[in-house]
């Protein structure tokens, strides 16, 4: 586990803490006049992310997500209202993306794809399709009045990997704003949300990772009160017959997506940005960009396998 850092002062009035949360590197950066109060605000935000992780993780049998999955095809389970509401918002994104985003992707597990081990061959398409037969967001039933969730098919599994980090970042930002923090960034492994301005009155400058060298920026954006999430083929990938396959799996075929190196979504909300990045990668340049251009307050940057750059409207790259 990455060593948890103390709160550090980056420049005058700008404080940051870096640590591992939800299995990923989180950075919480805020503007504050006092180091002690900055530390209290940041630690409150971290507690909020940990609370959400406890609700959503599939790595703990005691989480509400695990409870839902264990009862798939058996009975509805009672969960917190915020879990019901998050599932309902995820269902709306599934409809908008025609299933390219699907919360029930959890049936595709490491029996089919294990990018942590040296894969040498693709699974055959028939096996892949059999593994994804349980992926269907229409079979997630939510009773918001009773706070109940039921998966209709035995063996179904949901997971919040495509939306959870963005949701947690957004909730942490909201908590910091409620505490009176006037400006900051919550960065959940590249899915980040910003508000306010830097102490010198300028917007925050955010780097977008170069898909060929993820530790170096491809470009910069000056943003405030906006969120960015990036899905790339560089996070987890394998080479088979000299062709790169990313960890992004098409829920309809069970096979990895090809053709796009990275998708960055800019939105006013980190949860939406997080949830929309992967489906655009799955849908491809033409269909993905066409969808984004029809949705208000969302912009998109795509880099394809030939390093061609595609952008939606109102994006200024430096």
CA distance 271 to 282: 18
33-38: Cβ within 8 A, 24+ apart: 35/7, 35/9, 38/7
* DSSP state, residue 271: H
Residue 303 corresponds to which tokens in the numbers above? 């880099």
**Closest CA relative to residue 248, chosen from 277, 227, 273:** 277
Phi, psi at 61, each rounded to 5°: -70, -15
Q: 194 a known binding residue?
A: no
Positive/negative CA dihedral, 264, 236, 89, 41: negative
* 201 labelled ligand-binding: no
| CA-closest candidate to residue 181, choices 43, 42, 48, 49 | 42
Q: How far is CA 260 from CA 75, 178, 191, 269, 273, in A?
A: 40, 39, 18, 24, 17
Query: Which of 49, 24, 50, 149 minimizes the C-alpha distance to 90?
Result: 149
Structure tokens that stand for 170 in this block: 């957004």
CB atoms within 10 A of CB 253: 13
User: Annotated binding site, which residues?
Assistant: 162, 274, 278
User: Annotated binding site for Mg(2+), which residues?
Assistant: 162, 274, 278
């Amino acid at each position: 586990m990455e060593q948890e850092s103390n709160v550090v002062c980056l420049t005058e009035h700008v404080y940051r803490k870096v640590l591992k949360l939800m299995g990923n590197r989180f950075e919480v950066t805020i503007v504050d006049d006092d180091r002690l109060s900055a530390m209290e605000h940041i630690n409150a935000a971290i507690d909020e992310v940990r609370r959400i992780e406890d609700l959503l993780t599939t790595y703990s049998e005691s989480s509400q997500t695990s409870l839902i999955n264990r009862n798939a095809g058996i009975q509805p389970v009672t969960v917190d209202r915020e879990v019901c509401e998050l599932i309902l918002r995820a269902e709306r994104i599934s409809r908008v993306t025609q299933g390219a985003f699907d919360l029930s992707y959890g049936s595709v597990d490491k029996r089919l794809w294990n990018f942590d081990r040296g894969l040498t061959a693709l699974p055959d398409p028939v096996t892949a399709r059999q593994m994804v037969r349980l992926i269907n967001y229409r079979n997630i039933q939510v009773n918001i009045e009773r706070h109940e969730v039921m998966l209709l098919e035995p063996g179904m599994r949901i997971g919040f990997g495509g939306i959870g980090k963005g949701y947690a970042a957004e909730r942490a930002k909201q908590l910091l704003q409620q505490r009176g923090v006037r400006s900051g960034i919550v960065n959940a492994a590249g899915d980040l949300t910003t508000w306010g301005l830097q102490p010198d009155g300028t917007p925050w400058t955010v780097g977008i990772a170069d898909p060929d060298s993820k530790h170096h920026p491809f470009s910069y954006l000056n943003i405030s009160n906006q969120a960015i999430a990036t899905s790339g083929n560089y996070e987890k990938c394998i080479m088979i017959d000299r062709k790169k396959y990313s960890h992004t799996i098409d829920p309809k075929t069970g096979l990895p997506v090809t053709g796009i190196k990275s998708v960055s979504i800019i939105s006013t909300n980190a949860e939406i940005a997080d949830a929309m990045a992967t489906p655009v990668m799955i849908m491809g340049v033409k269909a993905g960009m066409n969808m984004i251009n029809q949705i208000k307050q969302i912009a998109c940057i795509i880099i394809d396998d030939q390093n061609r750059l595609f952008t939606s409207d109102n994006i200024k790259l430096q």
